């Protein structure tokens, strides 16, 4: 039995920590409803007078929806390509046997070693030479490429654990590899596909450095660039900026609440894999 | 490993009731299927990876010996030997950036990870309350780094925000934390702790739940106190997860850019740069391809060294585990 004191201190500590976690978010959300004068004197309390104009003006701006659209486009094709390309490669590594397989698998895993910032300038030159600069594909393709290593490692581990008897039976019945992949492996691997997909989605949605380097045109900005531009434009008109920030938090938190399991599983996947 | 995780494609006659004839006939289509499947399934990954990951890394090494602005053809007359490396390694701002990276790692190891562990051990059970707290602590982590940066930029603002309010209670004018050398770096460190501790907590919870409960039960039956169980059973068994969390801290620090960009842009007086924000400010923004590539190579070497160190640490661990 745990002593009573421990229980009290435990709750006190947890509530305090939770408060510190959420306080900045609360201040941001509520700050969007305040006038500038109110913000100066009253950071945490409810607004003296509720102003909804900050929020409404942003929601009426075409720019806001455009950058969410850009981010959605980038994220959609990133997730799609990551899932298709890495699951095909992982299938080969998990279930086929041929000379040199180990070498190719190791080659594709070297991406685990370093962050993409180390190669960003050559990537920029390559994207420019391919004529993809200032286009959404100039963000998508490098992003997918840098996501491959980890995705393949995760998928491969899962594919290899699937019951072997299934594949033996399928092969004896004359099932082709392609059919085996599409009709047996993929349907059985939904949990790990969800994890990998969520991981790619979160990474893409929040990516900042890559679009910062690749995209110049305002109309192509994904939201992290847009929000920085907005802040630069309105400076310390914090009411506006905070409303903007809050509106971008909403989809993130909503998605988190929906896919909490996959998100945490994906982001801590390294721990499970050891 | 190759033998254990792959499927044996040749069913032995003993396993299969079908006649040998069928198997021999079936072998050929399998093999041709193997080749065509490989030719269909592997090239997309290989192509994309080579074009956007491997080649750029190699090109970093090549470009790093040139003084090149990226426009026009790269010519040998731009070759400047190791000047880019010398310039980077003798630049006090770059040195300071690396020290800031080191600070991030230190704060993570000494403050963030212990807090994360403490919280993780408090809420690693599967009760409803614990799940709620877990969800809350993870929220900062799911925000984009730029968003976290902007939120705290507001909170740190000397005219508005939290800092201003606290000083206001004492009738004092608030300092602009982000505009002061030294303070700015400390302020960034605090945001990093706030944002990433939930991630480490989730790692530790996963690690804690991986410990079989009978081990802990038997320690308790032997009369160990709660603290003794934690100190002598739980923490030692979580060593691999702790090493992993530390590893993530180091890699995260080496990638840190977005938050610094949003909070201070590396200022004031270039005092709060990280390695990557230095790379962005002095390499990418000014299109100094050679210099930026040299910085990339330096970062790459650091990452490889960290990785090797981590692997050695882990191998030794698994060896002693076996012994």
Facing residue for A264 by CB, picked from B150, B168, B202: B202
Query: Which residues of chain B neighbour A178 with C-beta distances below 8 Å?
Result: 33, 37, 40
| Pick from A195, A173, A213: nearest CA to A87 | A195
| Separation of CA B170 from chain center | 41
Residue A132 covered by a domain: yes
Q: What is the Cα–Cα distance from B47 to A85, expressed in whole angstroms?
A: 11
Task: Give me the phi and psi of A208, to 5 degrees please.
Answer: -125, -50
Query: Which residues of chain A neighbour B228 with C-beta distances below 8 Å?
Result: none
Facing residue for B11 by CB, picked from A172, A176, A248: A172
Please report, for the domain that includes residue A182, its CATH number: 1.10.3720.10
Residue B83 covered by a domain: no
What is residue B105's predicted lDDT score, i.e. its pLDDT? Answer: 95
B199: domain range? 91-322
Residue A2 covered by a domain: no
Mean pLDDT of A88-105: 90
Residue A103 covered by a domain: yes
Q: Using CA of residue A270, residue A271, residue B3, residue B4, what is the dihedral sign?
A: negative
Residue B51 covered by a domain: no
What is residue A4's predicted lDDT score, i.e. its pLDDT? Answer: 61
Distance from CA of B140 to the nearest CA of A (A): 7
A179: domain range? 70-273
Query: Which residues of chain A neighbour B25 with C-beta distances below 8 Å?
Result: none
Distance from CA of A120 to the nearest CA of B (A): 8
Distance from CA of A118 to the nearest CA of B (A): 4
* Pair B11, B101 in one domain: no
Model ipTM value:
0.90
The residue to which tokens 């980077």 are assigned: B88
Residue B147 covered by a domain: yes
The residue to which tokens 């959300």 are assigned: A29
Residues 6+ apart with CB under 8 A from B238: B204, B207, B208, B211
What are the angstrom distances between the C-alpha of A239 and each of A24, A38, B122, B173?
Answer: 14, 10, 37, 21
Query: Each residue's pLDDT tens digit in chain B (323 positions)?
Result: 333 444 444 444 444 444 433 444 344 345 557 888 888 899 999 999 999 999 999 999 999 999 988 887 788 888 998 999 999 999 999 999 999 999 999 999 999 999 999 999 999 888 888 889 999 999 999 899 999 999 999 999 888 878 888 888 888 888 888 999 999 999 999 999 999 999 999 999 988 988 888 888 898 888 888 888 899 999 999 988 898 899 889 989 999 999 999 999 998 999 999 999 999 999 999 999 999 999 999 999 999 998 888 888 876 655 554 43
**Are the Cβ atoms of A44 and B59 closer than 8 angstroms?**
no
What is residue B87's predicted lDDT score, i.e. its pLDDT? Answer: 94
Residue A78 covered by a domain: yes
Read off the DSSP letter of residue B172.
Answer: P
Residue B205 covered by a domain: yes
Dihedral angle over CA of B26, B31, B35, B38, nearest 10: 80
* Pair B20, B141 in one domain: no
Dihedral angle over CA of B90, B91, B94, B98, nearest 10: 40
Q: What is the mean pLDDT of chain B?
A: 85
C-beta neighbour count of A102 within 10 angstroms: 12
pLDDT per position as a tens digit, B243-261: 889 988 998 999 999 999 9
* Pair B9, B102 in one domain: no
Adjacent-strand bridge partners of B66:
B79
What is residue B125's predicted lDDT score, i.e. its pLDDT? Answer: 85
Residues 6+ apart with CB under 8 A from A149: A108, A109, A110, A111, A112, B49, B53
Chains A & B: contacts with CB separation below 8 Å = 303
What is residue B6's predicted lDDT score, i.e. its pLDDT? Answer: 41
Q: CB contact, 8 Å: A41 with chain B?
A: yes
Are the beta carbons of B278 and B191 closer than 8 angstroms?
no
Higher per-residue pLDDT: A94 or A261: A94
Q: CB contact, 8 Å: A99 with chain B?
A: no
Residue A118 covered by a domain: yes
Residue A19 has pLDDT above 90, yes or no: yes
Instruction: State the DSSP string of A102-145.
Output: HHHHHHHHGGGSS-GGGGHHHHHHHHHHTT-TTSTHHHHHHHHH
| Pick from A260, A140, A265, A145: nearest CA to A207 | A140
Question: What does the radius of gyration of chain A's CA atoms come to, in whole angstroms?
Answer: 24
Are the beta carbons of A150 and B251 closer than 8 angstroms?
no
**Are the Cβ atoms of B137 and A17 closer than 8 angstroms?**
yes
Facing residue for A122 by CB, picked from B38, B241, B293: B293
Residue A102 covered by a domain: yes
What is residue B36's predicted lDDT score, i.e. its pLDDT? Answer: 85
**Are the Cβ atoms of A248 and B144 closer than 8 angstroms?**
yes
Confidence of residue A182 (pLDDT cuts 50, 70, 90): very high
pTM: 0.88
What is residue B27's predicted lDDT score, i.e. its pLDDT? Answer: 40
Residue B286, classed as helix, strand or coil, is coil
Confidence of residue A170 (pLDDT cuts 50, 70, 90): confident
Mean pLDDT of A229-247: 90
Higher per-residue pLDDT: A262 or A217: A217
**Are the Cβ atoms of B296 and A121 closer than 8 angstroms?**
yes
What is residue B63's predicted lDDT score, i.e. its pLDDT? Answer: 93
**Are the Cβ atoms of A144 and B48 closer than 8 angstroms?**
yes
Q: CB contact, 8 Å: A229 with chain B?
A: no
Q: CB contact, 8 Å: A221 with chain B?
A: no
* Pair B235, B139 in one domain: yes
Please report, for the domain that includes residue B291, its CATH number: 1.10.3720.10
Q: What is the Cα–Cα distance from B45 to B52, expressed in whole angstroms?
A: 11
- Extract long-range pairs of A30-33: CB within 8 Å, 24+ residues apart: A31/A238, A31/A239, A31/A242, A31/A243, A31/B154, A32/A239, A32/A242, A32/A243, A32/A244, A32/A245, A32/A246, A33/A239, A33/A243
Domain count, chain B: 2
Distance from CA of B306 to the nearest CA of A (A): 9
Mean pLDDT of A76-94: 96
Query: Which residues of chain B neighbour A176 with C-beta distances below 8 Å?
Result: 33, 37
Residue A31 covered by a domain: no
Higher per-residue pLDDT: A274 or B273: B273
* Pair B155, B27 in one domain: no
Residue B27 covered by a domain: yes
178-217 of A, contacting B, C-beta below 8 A: 178, 181, 202, 205-206, 208-209, 212-213
Nearest residue on chain A to B308, alpha-carbon basis: A113
* Pair B29, B143 in one domain: no
Residues 6+ apart with CB under 8 A from B268: B178, B179, B180, B181, B184
**Are the Cβ atoms of B159 and A209 closer than 8 angstroms?**
no
Residue A83 has pLDDT above 70, yes or no: yes
Domain count, chain A: 1
The residue to which tokens 């990276």 are assigned: B101
pLDDT per position as a tens digit, B116-144: 999 999 998 888 888 899 999 999 998 99
Adjacent-strand bridge partners of B79:
B66
**Are the Cβ atoms of B202 and A160 closer than 8 angstroms?**
no
Query: Which residues of chain B neighbour A227 with C-beta distances below 8 Å?
Result: 146-147, 150
């Amino acid at each position: 039995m745990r002593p009573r004191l421990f229980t009290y201190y435990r709750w006190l500590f947890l509530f305090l920590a939770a408060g510190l976690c959420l306080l900045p978010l609360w201040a941001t959300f509520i700050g969007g409803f305040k006038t500038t004068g109110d913000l100066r004197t009253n950071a945490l309390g409810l607004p003296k007078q509720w102003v909804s104009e900050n929020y409404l003006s942003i929601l009426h701006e075409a720019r806001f929806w455009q950058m969410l659209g850009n981010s959605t486009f980038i994220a959609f094709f990133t997730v799609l390509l990551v899932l298709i390309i890495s699951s095909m490669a992982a299938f080969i590594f998990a279930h086929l046997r041929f000379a040199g397989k180990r070498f190719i698998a190791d080659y594709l895993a070297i991406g685990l070693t370093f962050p993409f910032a180390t190669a960003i300038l050559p990537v920029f030159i390559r994207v420019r030479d391919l004529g993809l600069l200032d286009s959404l594909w100039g963000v998508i393709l490098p992003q997918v490429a840098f996501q491959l290593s980890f995705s393949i490692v995760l998928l491969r581990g899962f594919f290899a654990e699937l019951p072997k008897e299934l594949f033996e039976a399928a092969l004896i019945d004359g099932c082709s590899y392609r059919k085996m992949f599409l009709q047996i492996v993929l349907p059985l691997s939904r949990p790990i596909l969800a994890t990998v997909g969520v991981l790619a989605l979160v990474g893409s949605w929040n990516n900042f450095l890559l679009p910062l380097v690749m995209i110049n045109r305002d109309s192509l900005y994904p939201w992290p660039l847009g929000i920085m531009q907005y802040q630069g434009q309105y400076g310390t008109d914090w009411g506006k900026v905070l409303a903007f920030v809050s509106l971008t938090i909403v989809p993130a938190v909503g998605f988190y609440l929906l896919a909490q399991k996959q998100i945490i599983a994906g982001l801590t996947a390294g721990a499970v894999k050891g | 490993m190759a033998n254990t995780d792959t499927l044996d494609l040749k069913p032995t006659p003993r396993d299969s009731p079908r006649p040998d004839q069928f198997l021999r006939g079936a072998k050929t289509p399998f093999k041709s299927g193997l080749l065509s499947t490989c030719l269909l399934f592997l090239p997309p990954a290989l192509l994309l990876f080579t074009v956007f990951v491997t080649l750029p890394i190699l090109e970093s090494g090549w470009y790093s010996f040139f003084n090149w602005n990226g426009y026009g053809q790269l010519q040998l007359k731009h070759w400047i030997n190791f000047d880019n490396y010398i310039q980077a390694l003798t630049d006090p701002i770059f040195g300071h950036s690396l020290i800031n990276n080191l600070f991030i790692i230190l704060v993570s190891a000494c403050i963030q990870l212990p807090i994360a562990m403490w919280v993780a051990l408090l809420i690693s059970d599967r009760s409803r309350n614990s799940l709620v707290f877990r969800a809350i602590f993870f929220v900062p982590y799911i925000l984009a780094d730029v968003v976290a940066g902007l939120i705290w930029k507001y909170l740190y603002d000397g005219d508005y925000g939290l800092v201003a309010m606290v000083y206001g209670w004492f009738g004092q004018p608030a300092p602009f934390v982000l505009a002061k050398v030294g303070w700015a770096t400390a302020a960034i460190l605090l945001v990093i702790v706030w944002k990433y501790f939930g991630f480490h907590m989730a790692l530790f919870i996963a690690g804690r739940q991986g410990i079989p409960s009978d081990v802990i039960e038997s320690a308790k039956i032997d009369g160990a106190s709660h603290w003794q169980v934690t100190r002598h059973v739980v923490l030692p068994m979580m060593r691999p997860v702790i090493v992993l969390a530390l590893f993530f801290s180091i890699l995260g620090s080496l990638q840190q850019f977005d938050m610094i960009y949003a909070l201070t842009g590396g200022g004031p007086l270039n005092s709060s740069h990280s390695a990557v924000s230095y790379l962005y400010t002095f390499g990418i923004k000014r299109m100094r391809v050679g210099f930026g590539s040299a910085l990339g190579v330096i970062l790459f070497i650091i990452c490889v060294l960290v990785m090797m160190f981590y692997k050695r640490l882990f191998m030794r661990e698994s060896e002693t585990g076996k012994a």
